[in-house]
Amino acid sequence: QAEMAMYHTKKNGRNNMTFYDPSIQQADTRRMVMEDNLHRAVANDEFELYYQPKIHVKTGKIAAVEALIRWNHPVLGQISPAEFIPIAEETGLIVPMSEWVLHTACMQNKRWQEEGMSPMRVAVNISSVEFGEDDFVTKVVNILEETKLSPHYLELEITESVAIKNVGSVIEKLDALKQVGVYISIDDFGSGYSSLSYIKKLPIDALKVDRSFIQDLKANQTEETIVKAIITIAKSLQLDVVAEGVEEQEQVQILRKERCDEIQGYYFSKPLPVSEFEQKYESIERHAMSS
């Protein structure tokens, strides 16, 4: 309801006369509560990581799991990252939050390997604020050492906007991470404004095709042509291609035909809490191998 109120305010803009509206008041309050409580969220153990598999198309095995943060607020309930990450970025609280995310994801992946699960990458989303920190690379290296996770099993997902906002240092930082052995992908590829000549200069491993291109993907339609073109570009740059937001079998079939490397989406699995992922990963792979 609070989200609705915020939408309502924006949509009506300045052309409408605004009267006192308790629902707007409520949206403001929600934001203030979140801003205030974000400080304590790490210490209070209110964050949780969900994990969503990326399926290796050729084998049907889980190639990676993406860590997606959830905030279990004692009063407001579960809050989506789309709502609190912008607040965390504005307040600088993204920095301690992100350290917690990286550490937890690496530790969890190491634990899974020790428990005998076949090794897979863990993918962590990196915001531009985090990536822009001078000591970002050092932090990543330290966390890898602390958790003893082999760098090859850590993937960082950065968006095109991250790469663009940090033009000066981005290549330097990515090069350093690459040296260490970390796998790097461009998230939401195609949704931003980066030019291909710029992408070409980045030392990255994969492009993750934005969900907007996958959403209406049907055989013999414009979307198929676009996705096909993106895959061709990625291949010519010797990059892996991942599709996000895949929900239907027809999309899987098209992506397989076009030689997409990895597929992620509700069709195979939504993001799951640790215990549920542990219960389901074998059946997710069985389903992937037979589809």
Q: Which is nearer to ligand C2E, 190 or 265 (CB)?
A: 265
* Residue 163 contacts ligand C2E per CB under 6 A: no
* Residue 266 contacts ligand C2E per CB under 6 A: yes
Q: Which is nearer to ligand C2E, 39 or 236 (CB)?
A: 39
Considering only residues 21 through 60, tell me which ones interact with ligand C2E, judged by CB under 6 A.
Answer: 52
DSSP H/E element including 188? strand 183-189
Structure tokens at 24: 């707007």
Q: At what angle do helices 22-41 and 2-12 cross, to 10 degrees?
A: 120
Measure the CA dihedral 33/123/139/112, to 10°.
100
Considering only residues 217 through 246, tell me which ones interact with ligand C2E, judged by CB under 6 A.
Answer: 244-246
C-alpha 69/C-alpha 49 separation (Å) is 5
* Smallest gap from residue 70 Cβ to ligand C2E (A): 7
Q: Which is nearer to ligand C2E, 37 or 52 (CB)?
A: 52
| CA 5 from centroid of its chain's CA atoms | 27
* Smallest gap from residue 213 Cβ to Mg ion (A): 11
Structure tokens at 117: 């699960």
Q: Which is nearer to ligand C2E, 114 or 288 (CB)?
A: 288
How many residues in the shown chain lie near ligand C2E by CB under 6 A?
21
Measured from each CB, the residue nearest to ligand C2E is 265
Rounded to a whole number of angstroms, the distance between the first and last alpha carbons of the chain is 39
Structure tokens at 45: 């153990």
- Residue 80 interaction partner, one of ligand C2E, Mg ion, none, beta carbon < 5-8 Å per kind: ligand C2E
* Residue 271 contacts ligand C2E per CB under 6 A: yes
Of the candidates 117, 91, 49, 102, the residue with the CA atom closest to the CA atom of residue 274: 49
Binding residues (CB under 5 A) for Mg ion: these are: 125, 157, 187-188, 244
Considering only residues 66 through 85, tell me which ones interact with ligand C2E, judged by CB under 6 A.
Answer: 68-69, 80-82, 85
Q: Which is nearer to ligand C2E, 23 or 46 (CB)?
A: 46
* Smallest gap from residue 64 Cβ to ligand C2E (A): 12
3-state secondary structure of 98: helix
Concatenated DSSP letters for 202-214?
Answer: S--SEEEE-HHHH
* Residue 247 contacts ligand C2E per CB under 6 A: yes
* Residue 101 contacts ligand C2E per CB under 6 A: yes
C-alpha 64/C-alpha 83 separation (Å) is 25
Q: Which stretch binds ligand C2E (CB under 6 A): 3-11, 137-145, 162-170, 264-272?
A: 264-272
* Residue 188 contacts ligand C2E per CB under 6 A: yes
Q: Is 283 exposed, middle or buried (0-12, 13-18, 19+ CB in 10 A)?
A: exposed
